[in-house]
């Protein structure tokens, strides 16, 4: 029995590799799915921006012409801003659950998620109709990503069905403005990464709003918070905050010193917490996050050939792997540039971006007007040729041809008369 179990585990591992990026791995077995399917799961506390990110990802994927489906997995979400491929409220309604089971809002959502798990066949059938990349928008209850087992069990079954799962753990960047909030958020990330054992991308959302909520007064640069290194430098600031909050500098914060040291040591020993940043309305920020997701899932855009560290061409089965692991495909924005853009010189960049948008709109309008002029000229030329060739005596068409010729002369001479095309009724 134990031998069979080990064989099953090995086979499952090979199937997982079969969806990877190298030909050598895909030759390990000749069955299993041939198309890699990615499932993106944003989790985080309420207000972290899960639904906003889901909406932003859908729009960004459409803009770059990449197939993607989004779906609502929150039975209490009555304000969906995106176009869902399916909605879990088709099978469970949290209001009905609360009334039937006499539960509050929080308990009702957890019970509803257990009902979704009980109807997993419905979820799997809906996902099969989706694109190769799926974004699921789950409820915001922290219990689901901390200790409740309904969501992990569903993700495990989807993983066995062949999905590459990437968890996006979202935190509002306002947590950076208080050392205690930041430390508690780090512990939240550690617990979430243990509860959902999949590739995790921790994301500080609303980075474009950080300056407005105190980001200009941070005691450290942004890279200190995103790279989560040398956390012992946080101890004096943390102690000062706690002392001020319990009595105005009487030294009472010292009783938390050992606890703070133990918590920081825990995060340091875990060693896997780091953050991406996100401003949903910024194209560069969205592109950087998407590349981080792709890197976590093994989804790589690559050419047929690559070069090794010595510059030699690699065109065998290791080519795609070499490209996937090269620095040029990371696509991560430099955190120093992010700090300059959103904290140090935000107003300057905002003004420059606004001017760029206005110029882009002006150019687009000019191109549209020129296109309209070209259409009128072509139409007038064709109509004039038809009149000459066919010896047309229709007075309306003759008058229309004269009018179009006059409009063409005015446009050629720089006149600003609006151009309209009058058609015969």
CATH assignment of the domain containing 314: 3.40.50.300
* Model pLDDT, residue 422: 40
Residues 51-100: tens digit of each pLDDT: 999 999 999 999 999 999 999 999 998 888 899 999 999 999 899 999 99
Report yes or no on 161 lying in a domain. Answer: yes
Q: Which position has the higher pLDDT, 366 or 394? A: 366
340 and 365 inside one domain? no
Q: How crowded is residue 95: how many other Cβ atoms within 10 Å of its Cβ? A: 14
CA distances from 152 to 40, 165, 340 (A): 14, 11, 38
Q: Residue 113 belongs to what H/E stretch?
A: helix 105-118
Report yes or no on 332 lying in a domain. Answer: yes
282 and 337 inside one domain? yes
**Which residue bears the tokens 């430390």?**
183
Count structural domains, the chain.
2
Tell me the pLDDT band of 419, cut-offs 50, 70 and 90.
very low
The average pLDDT across 344-348 equals: 90
Report yes or no on 90 lying in a domain. Answer: yes
176 and 125 inside one domain? yes
* Model pLDDT, residue 209: 93
64 and 113 inside one domain? yes
Task: Indicate whether 360 pLDDT > 50.
Answer: yes
The average pLDDT across 314-327 equals: 56
Q: How far apart are CA 286 and CA 333, in angstroms?
A: 10
Q: By residue range, what is the domain housing residue 365?
A: 360-412
Whether the CB-CB separation of 116 and 76 falls below 8 Å is answered with no
* Model pLDDT, residue 285: 93
The average pLDDT across 332-346 equals: 88
The average pLDDT across 386-410 equals: 56
Tell me the pLDDT band of 33, cut-offs 50, 70 and 90.
very low
86 and 134 inside one domain? yes
Tell me the pLDDT band of 408, cut-offs 50, 70 and 90.
low
The residue from 344, 372, 395 where one domain ends is 344
Task: Indicate whether 342 pLDDT > 70.
Answer: yes
Task: Indicate whether 138 pLDDT > 50.
Answer: yes
- Residue 306 phi/psi, 5-degree rounding, is -140, 175
CA 205 to chain centre: 10
* Model pLDDT, residue 362: 82
67 and 124 inside one domain? yes
213 and 292 inside one domain? yes
The residue from 292, 317, 344 where one domain ends is 344
Q: How far apart are CA 386 and CA 390, in angstroms?
A: 6
Report yes or no on 262 lying in a domain. Answer: no
Report yes or no on 149 lying in a domain. Answer: yes
320 and 388 inside one domain? no
Q: How far apart are CA 98 and CA 176, in angstroms?
A: 36
The residue from 288, 314, 344 where one domain ends is 344
Report yes or no on 131 lying in a domain. Answer: yes
Report yes or no on 246 lying in a domain. Answer: no
Q: In the chain, what percentage of residues exceed pLDDT 70?
A: 68
* Model pLDDT, residue 182: 95
pTM of the model: 0.72
375 and 323 inside one domain? no
Q: Which position has the higher pLDDT, 3 or 196? A: 196
Q: How far apart are CA 403 and CA 396, in angstroms?
A: 11
* Model pLDDT, residue 306: 56
Two tokens, residue 291: 């590349």
112 and 214 inside one domain? yes
* Model pLDDT, residue 271: 87
39 and 153 inside one domain? yes
Two tokens, residue 287: 């592109």
181 and 128 inside one domain? yes
Report yes or no on 1 lying in a domain. Answer: no
Whether the CB-CB separation of 267 and 228 falls below 8 Å is answered with yes
- Residue 134 phi/psi, 5-degree rounding, is -125, 135
Tell me the pLDDT band of 13, cut-offs 50, 70 and 90.
very low
């Amino acid at each position: 029995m134990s031998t069979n179990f080990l064989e099953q585990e090995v086979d499952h591992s090979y199937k997982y590799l079969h969806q990877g990026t190298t030909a050598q791995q895909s030759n390990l077995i000749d069955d299993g799915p041939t198309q890699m399917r990615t499932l993106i799961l944003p989790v985080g506390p309420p207000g972290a921006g899960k639904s906003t990110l889901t909406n932003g990802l859908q729009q960004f994927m459409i803009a770059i012409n990449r197939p993607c489906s989004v779906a609502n997995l929150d039975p209490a979400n009555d304000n969906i801003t995106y176009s869902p491929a399916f909605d879990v409220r088709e099978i469970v309604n949290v209001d009905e659950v609360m009334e039937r089971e006499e539960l509050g809002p929080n308990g009702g959502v957890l019970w509803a998620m257990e009902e979704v798990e009980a109807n997993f066949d419905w979820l799997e059938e809906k996902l099969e109709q989706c694109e190769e990349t799926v974004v699921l928008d789950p409820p915001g209850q922290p219990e689901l990503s901390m200790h409740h087992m309904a969501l992990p069990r569903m993700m495990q079954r989807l993983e066995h069905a062949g999905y590459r799962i990437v968890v996006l753990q979202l935190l509002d960047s306002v947590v950076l403005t208080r050392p205690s909030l930041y430390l508690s958020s780090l512990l939240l990330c550690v617990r979430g990464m243990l509860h959902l054992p999949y590739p995790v991308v921790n994301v500080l959302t609303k980075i474009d709003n950080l300056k407005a909520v105190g980001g200009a007064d941070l005691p450290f640069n942004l890279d200190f918070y995103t790279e989560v290194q040398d956390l012992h430098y946080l101890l004096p600031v943390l102690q000062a905050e706690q002392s001020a909050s319990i009595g105005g500098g009487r030294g009472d914060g010292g009783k938390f010193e050992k606890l703070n040291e133990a918590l920081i040591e825990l995060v340091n020993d875990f060693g896997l917490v780091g953050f991406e940043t996100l401003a949903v309305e910024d194209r560069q920020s969205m592109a950087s996050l998407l590349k981080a997701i792709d890197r976590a899932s093994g989804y790589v855009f690559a050419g047929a050939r690559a070069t090794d560290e010595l510059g030699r061409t690699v065109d065998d089965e290791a080519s795609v792997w070499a490209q996937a692991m090269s620095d040029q495909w990371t696509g991560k924005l430099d955190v120093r540039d992010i700090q300059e853009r959103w904290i140090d010189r935000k107003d300057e960049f905002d003004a420059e971006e606004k001017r760029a948008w206005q110029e882009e709109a002006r150019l687009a309008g000019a191109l549209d007007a020129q296109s309209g002029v070209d259409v009128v000229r072509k139409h007038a030329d064709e109509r004039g040729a038809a009149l000459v060739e066919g010896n047309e005596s229709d007075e309306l068409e003759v008058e229309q041809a004269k009018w179009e010729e006059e409009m063409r002369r005015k446009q050629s001479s720089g006149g600003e008369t609006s151009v309209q095309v009058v058609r015969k009724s």
